[in-house]
Structure 1
Amino acid sequence: MSGNLLIILAASLVIIALFHRLRLPPVLGYLCVGLLLGPAALSWVDYDRSLPQLAELGIVFLLFTLGLEFSLPRMVALRRVVFGFGTLQVLACGLPLAALLMLFGLSTTPALLLGIGLSLSSTAIVGKELVSLGEVFAPHGQNAIGVLIFQDLVAVLLLTLLPVLAGGTSQAWYLAVAITLAKTLMLFFGLLAVSRWLLPRLFHEVAQVRSAELFVLLALVIVLLTAWITHLLGLSMALGAFLAGMMLGESHYRHQIEADIRPFRDILLGLFFVTVGMLIDWHQFAEQGGYILGLTLLLLLLKGSLITLIARWRGDDIETAWRSGVALAQGGEFCFALVAQAQQRGLLEATHSSLLLSAIFCSMAVSPLMLRAAPRAARMLRRRNHTADLAGTIASSSQDLSGHVVICGYGRVGQSIARILQQEAITFIALDDDPVRVEEAAAGERNVHFGDSRRADLLEAAGTVRARLLVVAVNDTDVARAVVESARHLHSTLPILVRTRDDSRLSELQAAGATEVVPEVLESSLLLASHALVLLGLPQARVEAQMDRIRRNRYRLLHGYYHGAQGNLLDIRGQPRRLLHAINLSEDAYACGRNLRELDLANLGLEVQGVRRLGVPLQSSDDLLLEDGDAVLICGDLQAIEAGEALLLTGKT
């Protein structure tokens, strides 16, 4: 077992790193690891019983963390989704799928069992991707989670009914269902009692000790103990873990528990996906690829369409409906167990079971890609719905404006500027490419419009040629530069004020036509520094003069910073940050006896911020001769700083 784990973890380390570089979902990477290491490919890992049992804990931890998010009051509020939408989804998808299976030659009983089984979706994939995308509490996310909870209960019922319907026991099916439901209710009320009276005291005592190790141990014991008790009752361990998490969802320690559980959840969930990949024989794709592809598309389209129609019938908007359909369209991991047991009991032939397993695997493999593509598709559809006759609509609202302000980007900064303009009774018109934000703002403000500010026709429609000022408040510097270029073509003398994160591309924006560029980080630094100086007793006029002098010098004094041990040497665009670094010159340093002009550090992309001699700052002119003991403060990216240090100390770069 230890050897298998070592091989799986080592292979996962390489494959997941590669998938991150390719910007592909990690779930696909784990599935590929299982496919490569499994018995049908390299056969480096033995698929014994202990591996899937350990991997199942990944789903247990996932459902526990989801339960922490969905506290009992929230679940009560979602009861119509869980039992209403869930029931409709299972029946509306399961019965047509069962009819199709009967067309393929299956008898009624196994067709109904497998049809209902195929109607269930992958809790592991959907839960993990919704958490990764931050969409658990979006309308379609709540639909998906609610339905998945109901599906877990249905999965338990199906596994209970399978031996009864296969003739392996004399127990009546309705009695088996009643016993399962009774066990579920007993588990629910038992966990409710424990979470109300016992667990809060336990967590309080452990918190008093202030030991992170004890807190982690308690969280692990709760998850594993709940799963074990649920397993003893013959129920789904994942369902029990969800109920336990839900009971702790109102606890003050919820966030700490979630943070402690997350590393175990992610690794074990990855192991689960590896075991799923190991079940697939890739040779079958070469032999029956057409059939597998057809079954996969049929499953995805049928389930996705039916779930979308159900969501619309229940009153959800179009976007929520189709995104719910995308989230739940795939087959689920439960089907692997159901198909295997149906084959063992003679309800399903081996050829049919292998085709079904391959189709379910393929639907699960493409599901992360579909879930990650859905937000982009939703944005594109929203834009398409808002782009009809945009220029005409904007032009009609701005035709009477003159001497107004055009704001490009109506996020937090743009809205703050707009409110101040309103206080001074200055007219403005704003453009933003976020349809939800525009829809929210348009409810109270008639001068906010949807549109891409880079489009010259929309800038012209906003009356840019008649405006007194253009404010570019977008968060993307590339977009800001494009807006400035488009506006400058329309109006050669229009003052353009640009907001940026920092000053890394200040000269580029000014070259494009920006009149003033305001770097947020540096301006906030100046604001704090000016308040500090005033509080220290310096005259207001002197402080303002110093701040103005720094601005006129393009924030040269503030360029670069000393990085720490945890500092990131790359900015958000992946470009090297400008850093500060002090170099102390020893007696035999190359720079001693030479001036700054001769050293020409600017040729290396460096800026000399100052020179200190015996702790006293000197006026750093080009003619300043450097001496032993001087400290030269340089600013530049890491590569330039290393070259500059080599030049100052050895004369070589």
Structure 2
Amino acid sequence: MAAEAAPPFFAESIVFLAATVVAVPLAKRLGLGSVVGYLAAGAAIGPHGLQLLGSGEDVLHVAELGVVLLLFVIGLELDPQKLWRMKRDIFGLGTAQVLLTGTCLYAAARLAGLQHATALVAGFGLALSSTAFALQILQERGQLSSPYGQRAFGILLLQDIAIVPLLALVAILAPGPGPTTFANILSEISIVLAAVAGVILTGRYLISPIFLFLAASRAREVMLTAALLVALGSAGIMHAVGLSMALGAFLAGVLLAESSFRHTLEADIEPFRSLLMGLFFVAVGMSLDFSLVVENWMIVAAGVGTVMILKGGFLWALSRGTGSPNSDALRIAVTLPQGGEFAFVLFTAAVSNSLLDYQTANLLNAIVIITMLLTPVACIGLDTLAARVKARGVENPSIETFEEAAPTVLVIGFGRFGMVVAQILTSEGLEITAIDNRPDRIAYARKMGYQVYYGDATRADVLSAAGAGKAALVAMCIENYKVMGKAIDLIREGFPETLIFCRATDRAHMLDLTKRGVDFQVRETFESSVVFGRAALEALGTPLDRIDQIEEDVRHRDEERLAVQLSEGIYAGKDQLHRVTPRGQRRKGKQDAPAE
């Protein structure tokens, strides 16, 4: 009996997975990062390599969803207030970089013999950096939230916005039947504004109630489906009116940044984002034509050098001129000198509109890809230089700076216990993030002025998204000791340096937490009982010094009993329970030390 035909793209999927499994770990072992591994894998299996796969264009259309999901996740990490604080970096620094770099690259293209329209598209297309590439590098290094990482992100965000007028520029420069009328322009602007308003209103007033309803069902797959629907739906709306899909997804993410479901959304989207981002870079690598690069190696080499030196120089100068220290300016310069994925979109549109011929577009694409490959090398070079300077004992803040981050606390469980803990921590000015899996508690906490996020503490991805890796301390305030035990194991495995403070519901729970080696634990019933007993003795006329003596003795006997129970079981240690504290005596070990 003949075997049935394999599903579509089955063989291609196996080739893709096998190539990435080999190339990505090798690239990371060499210190080049996972992105270079994906690019190398695509170049090896593509039509210009081993020819195991055909053209990367079809794959690229699907893989571009990875960029969309990446911008959605980044948007989740920014609230509107924080985005507004970045306006100088976005519209000032970012705009200046695109205009200066694009103008100089345009002049270089003109000197190379390109026509005016062609040089304009090439120059400003190469002025755009790769959002996907640079953010991947920043995330892998854990520096996206650093000052220079935030400035780099502001520049990248402006470049994503800039693709819209650049695509319009291609349409204007293209030979056409006649000029566009003012009425048509006004109509297009109205449609765009209506789409943006629709996304904003939906994200602000409808999404959170919908997720609150879905969370009550406790069906994780439904929450996952809803998360993808929000990200891709907002991207689709923007794409329908001619804007960038990635920009639409980013806007939706920003609007949900203040939502209680922010961390769960991020954790649900992350696996799809990672897989599609890898596919995106593989598709880019597949488009690298080695024969074309070899035949025109001098042109490609000159283009790569010009782009990286000009863009890096402007990035450094503009960053320094707008207040960044030299160390941050250098890191921005070596993180963003590459060409970007939107250059492929721009060059493809230019070919379709007869502004670029096929060979010139391929040469420009090759320049973009090679600048991507060289960017991790530049980052490693700067790190090596900084390490050598530090090894010599030279204090050189122009190369390296160190900042102490303010301690943060992750509160897990926001019931009556967690709310009091949060009140104490925030009274000291500490930054807290709180998660809970009960929508009613989240709603109540919001009414009380607390920002609590929906999240399952037994999921490692949710803990990571909520900041367990960055937190100095995790406060376990939940009642379910099984959930707490699993969460403790996940934190100990993934974030071993994080302090774990736990609420114990009873004596057996406290014994279990002791065996798990948590850093601090407290039985809520024990402490409240001690306070209750003190108040009762005081009301009955017992002197305060006698009450203090009794409390000290009770606490000591409780510790002794716990030590016995750890080795002999929960029913051991009865002798420590019923004993009258002798009057006028301190317990053994607490006598005043003799004078020396």
Extract unaligned runs of 5+ from structure 2: 1-7, 407-495, 498-513, 522-552, 565-596
| Residue pairs, 1:412-451, within 5 angstroms | 436=402
**Which of 172, 179, 183 is the matching residue for 1:164?**
172
Question: How is 1:526-545 mapped onto 2 (pairs within 5 angstroms)?
Answer: 535-536=557-558, 538=560
**Contact between 1:101 and 1:111, CA under 8 Å: does it hold in 2?**
yes
Instruction: Name the counterpart of 1:365.
Output: 373
Quote the Cα distance in structure 2 between the aligned partners of 1:525 and 1:339.
57
Separation in structure 2 between the aligned mates of residue 439 and residue 272 of structure 1, nearest angstrom: 34
Q: Which residue of 2 aligns with 1:259?
A: 267
CA-to-partner distance for each residue in 1:65-124, whole Å, 9 max, x for gaps?
011112211111111111111110111100000000000111222212221111100011
Deviation at 1:302, TM superposition (A): 0.8
Distance 1:39 1:6 in 2: 16
1:439 and 1:98 mapped to 2: Cα distance?
42
| Alignment equivalent of 1:74, drawn from 71, 77, 82 | 82
Amino acid at match of 1:197: Y
Aligned match of 2:360: 352
Distance 2:181 2:344 in 1: 22
Shift of 1:56: 0.5
Q: Is the 8 A contact 1:383 1:435 kept in 2?
A: no
Partner of residue 59, structure 2:
51
Aligned to 1:409: none
AA at the equivalent of 1:217: T
TM-score (norm 1): 0.58
Farther off after superposition, 531-540 or 205-214: 531-540
- My pick for the range that moved more, 301-310 or 106-115, is 106-115
> Residues of 2 paired with 1:71 and 1:186: CA distance?
22
- Equivalent in the alignment of 2:295: 287
* 1:194 equivalent in alignment to 2:202: yes
Q: For residues 175 and 70 of structure 1, do their structure 2 counterparts lie closer, same or farther at Cα, with a shift above 3 Å needed? A: farther
Offset at 1:323?
A: 1.4
Residue equivalent to 2:99: 91
Deviations 1:308-366 (A, max 9, x none): 11111112211121211222211111112322332343323444333222111100112
Counterpart Cα distance in 2 of 1:376 and 1:192: 45
The alpha-carbon distance between structure 1 residues 539 and 261, as it changes in their structure 2 partners (threshold 3 A), is closer
Cα distance in 2 for partners of 1:525, 1:92 equals 55
Q: Out of 323, 331, 338, which is 2:339 matched to?
A: 331
Q: Does structure 1 conserve the Cα–Cα contact (< 8 Å) formed by 2:128 and 2:159?
A: yes
Q: CA deviation at 1:64?
A: 0.5
Q: Does 1:14 align with 2:17?
A: no
| Aligned residues of 1:97 and 1:115 also touching (Cα < 8 A) | yes
Q: Which stretch shifts more, 158-167 or 200-209? A: 158-167
Q: Do the aligned partners of residues 436 and 33 (structure 1) sit closer, same or farther apart at CA in structure 2, a change above 3 Å counting?
A: closer
Q: In the alignment, which of 33, 46, 51 is matched to residue 41 of structure 2?
A: 33
Q: Is the 8 A contact 2:196 2:238 kept in 1?
A: no
Residues 35, 280 of structure 1: 8 Å contact kept:
yes
Residues 158 and 320 (structure 1 numbering): CA distance in 2 closer, same or farther, change over 3 Å?
A: same
> What does residue 138 of structure 1 align with?
146
1:154-212 per-residue CA deviation (whole Å, 9 max, x = no partner) reads 11221222122112353449988876665554333222211221001011011111121
Q: 1:113 aligns with which of 104, 118, 121?
A: 121
Tell me the equivalent position of 1:411.
none
> How far, CA to CA, are the matches of 1:57 and 1:527 in structure 2?
45
Q: Is the 8 A contact 1:125 1:367 kept in 2?
A: no
In the TM superposition, what is the alpha-carbon distance from 1:251 to its structure 2 partner? 0.9
Distance 2:59 2:404 in 1: 51
Residues 56 and 286, structure 2, Cα contact 8 Å, conserved in 1? no
- Taking only aligned residues, the RMSD between alpha carbons, in angstroms, comes to 3.6
Shift of 1:381: 5.2
SS of the aligned residue for 1:134 comes to coil
Amino acid aligned to 1:96 = C
Contact residue 157 and residue 180 of structure 1 kept, 8 A: no
Contact preservation (8 Å) 2:57, 2:283: no
Query: Within 2, Cα distance between the matches of 1:307 and 1:149?
Result: 15
Tell me how far 1:386 sits from its aligned partner.
4.4
The one-letter amino acid of 1:436's match is: F
1:229 and 2:230 equivalent?
no
CA separation of 1:171/1:438 partners in 2, compared to 1, >3 Å: closer, same or farther? closer
Q: How many Å separate the matches in 2 of 1:173 and 1:318?
A: 48
How many residues are aligned here?
A: 419
Q: CA deviation at 1:290?
A: 3.5
CA distance in 1, matches of 2:182, 2:102: 19
Residues 438/68 of structure 1: CA separation in 2 closer, same or farther (3 Å cut)? closer
Within a 5 Å distance, the mapping from 1:219-618 to structure 2 comes to: 219-371=227-379, 374-375=382-383, 377-378=385-386, 386-387=394-395, 436=402, 535-536=557-558, 538=560
Q: Which moved more, 1:174-183 or 1:359-368?
A: 174-183
CA distance in 1: counterparts of 2:158 and 2:105, whole angstroms: 19
Structure 1 residues 296, 314: closer, same or farther in 2, change over 3 A?
same
Q: Tell me: CA distance 1:526–1:385, structure 2 relative to 1, closer, same or farther (3 Å).
A: closer
Distance in 2 (CA, whole Å) between partners of 1:145 and 1:181 is 27
Aligned counterparts of 1:132 and 1:174: Cα–Cα separation in 2: 47
Structure 1 residues 314, 104: closer, same or farther in 2, change over 3 A?
same
CA shift, 1:227, in A, is: 1.6
Query: Are residues 385 and 165 of structure 1, via their aligned partners in 2, closer, same or farther at CA, if it must alter by over 3 Å?
Result: farther
TM-superposed deviation, 1:7 = 2.2
Q: Distance in 2 between matches of 1:248 and 1:216?
A: 15
Q: Residue 214 of structure 1 is aligned with which of 209, 215, 222?
A: 222
What SS does the corresponding residue of 1:271 show, helix, strand or coil?
A: helix
Q: Which has the larger radius of gyration?
A: 1
Superposed, 1:617-628 pairs within 5 Å as none
For 2:402, the aligned partner's letter is: V
Deviation at 1:272, TM superposition (A): 0.5
TM-aligned CA distance change 1:317 to 1:539, over 3 Å = same
Provide the identity percentage: 34
Measured against aligned partners, the alpha-carbon deviations of 1:262-296 in whole angstroms (never above 9, x if no partner) come to 00000000000011111111123333333322321
Which residue is 2:418 aligned to? Answer: none
Residue 205 of structure 1, aligned match among 194, 209, 213: 213
Distance 2:242 2:25 in 1: 38
Cα–Cα, structure 1 residues 124 and 178, in superposed 2: closer, same or farther, change >3 Å? Answer: farther
2:332 is aligned with what amino acid?
S
d(CA) in 2 for partners of 1:271, 1:106: 33
What is the distance in 1 between the residues matched to 2:222 and 2:47? 40
Q: Is the 8 A contact 1:129 1:371 kept in 2?
A: no
The 8 Å contact of residues 121 and 347 in structure 2, kept in 1 or not, is answered as: no
**Cα distance 1:193–1:341, how it changes in 2: closer, same or farther (>3 A)?**
closer
